[in-house]
């Protein structure tokens, strides 16, 4: 990206739709199709009707569709995100089958030396039992420091071994097998609003792992700009996927 003063309008717009997450990640809303009015009109076709503008009546209809879980009209809004995230986050993300993914290949491209190390306050302990775990910050600064050091040193060592194998002429597809699940990968994620609500209900939720939740929060902030009323009624109806 160049200097802000010399950027074209589309370059500036792209930045507005990009949120940096963690030490190397991001969520970028590259493209979208549809709006609050599209959802309304997909529903209105049942009665062979169409709305030309979005009024309180249309808001009422969106609320009805959400409350009664009429699912398919929400599928008329589509988003395409560019995401850069650690592999362990991407692995959880790709469980969401009702969406499409294209991911960077470690067989065909060299993986940059980038890996996840959390902020100190995110070094946590796990308490309780399966089904009701609680994750609380570790208070002991020595444990926090050792954790951050171990995360950094071991991942650095993995990348050093990876680069050494590449330099010796080993295929990328084999050398990459030493890389850690903390390494960053990039993917394009295409999802409709219904699939997105399902993703957000599970991943922008206190039970989700903190790291994927950080990305889900960014996704939600960006998606909201496309169909703000849809997100209002999602919230008002308890964030249940229609």
Ligand X SMILES: Cc1cc2nc3c(=O)[nH]c(=O)nc-3n(C[C@H](O)[C@H](O)[C@H](O)COP(=O)(O)OP(=O)(O)OC[C@H]3O[C@@H](n4cnc5c(N)ncnc54)[C@H](O)[C@@H]3O)c2cc1C
DSSP string, 100-131: EEEE--TTTSPPPS-B----GGG-EEEES-TT
Sign of CA dihedral 196, 126, 24, 185: negative
Query: Both ends of the chain: CA-CA distance in Å?
Result: 39
Is 207 an interacting residue with respect to ligand X (CB under 6 A)?
Answer: yes
CB-based contacts of 22: which residues, under 8 Å, 6+ apart? 85, 86, 116, 118, 211, 214
How far apart are CB 218 and ligand X at their closest, in Å? 17
Which residue in 176, 194, 203, 213 is the catalytic one?
Answer: 203
Among 46, 95, 134, 238, binds ligand X (CB under 6 A): 95
The tokens for 108 are: 């065909």
Binding segment (CB under 6 A) for ligand X, from list 51-59, 91-99, 106-114, 228-236? 91-99
Binding segment (CB under 6 A) for ligand X, from list 61-69, 78-86, 182-190, 201-209? 201-209
What does the angle CA 168 – CA 87 – CA 30 come to, to the nearest 5 degrees? 110
Is 97 an interacting residue with respect to ligand X (CB under 6 A)?
Answer: yes
Is 202 an interacting residue with respect to ligand X (CB under 6 A)?
Answer: yes
3 state DSSP class of 232: helix
Is 198 an interacting residue with respect to ligand X (CB under 6 A)?
Answer: yes
Is 129 an interacting residue with respect to ligand X (CB under 6 A)?
Answer: no
Is 242 an interacting residue with respect to ligand X (CB under 6 A)?
Answer: no
For the question of residue 203 being annotated catalytic, the response is yes
CA atoms of 28 and 17, how far apart (whole Å):
6
Among 40, 87, 179, 208, binds ligand X (CB under 6 A): 208
Q: For binding to ligand X (CB under 6 A), which residues are involved?
A: 95-98, 195, 198, 202, 207-208
Which residue numbers are catalytic? 203
């Amino acid at each position: 990206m160049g200097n802000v003063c010399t950027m074209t309008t589309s370059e500036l717009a792209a930045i507005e739709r990009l949120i940096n997450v963690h030490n190397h990640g991001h969520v970028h809303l590259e493209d979208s199709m549809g709006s609050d009015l599209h959802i309304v009109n997909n529903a209105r076709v049942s009665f062979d009707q169409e709305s030309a503008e979005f009024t309180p009546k249309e808001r009422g209809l969106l609320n009805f569709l959400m409350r009664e879980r009429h699912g398919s009209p929400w599928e008329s809004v589509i988003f395409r995100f560019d995401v850069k995230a650690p592999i362990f986050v991407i692995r959880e993300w790709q469980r969401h089958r009702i969406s499409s993914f294209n991911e960077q290949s470690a067989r065909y491209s060299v993986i940059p030396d980038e890996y996840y190390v959390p902020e100190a306050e995110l070094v946590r302990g796990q308490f309780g039992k399966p089904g009701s775990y609680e994750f609380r910050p570790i208070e002991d600064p020595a444990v926090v420091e050792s954790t951050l050091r171990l995360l950094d040193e071991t991942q650095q060592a993995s990348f050093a071994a990876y680069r050494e194998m590449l330099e010796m002429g080993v295929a990328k597809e084999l050398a990459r097998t030493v890389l850690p699940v903390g390494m960053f990968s990039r993917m394009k994620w295409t999802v409709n609003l219904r699939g997105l609500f399902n993703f957000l209900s599970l991943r922008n939720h206190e039970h989700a792992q903190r790291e994927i939740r950080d990305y889900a929060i960014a996704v939600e902030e960006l998606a909201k700009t496309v169909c703000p009323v849809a997100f209002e009624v999602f919230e008002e109806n308890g964030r249940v996927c229609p």
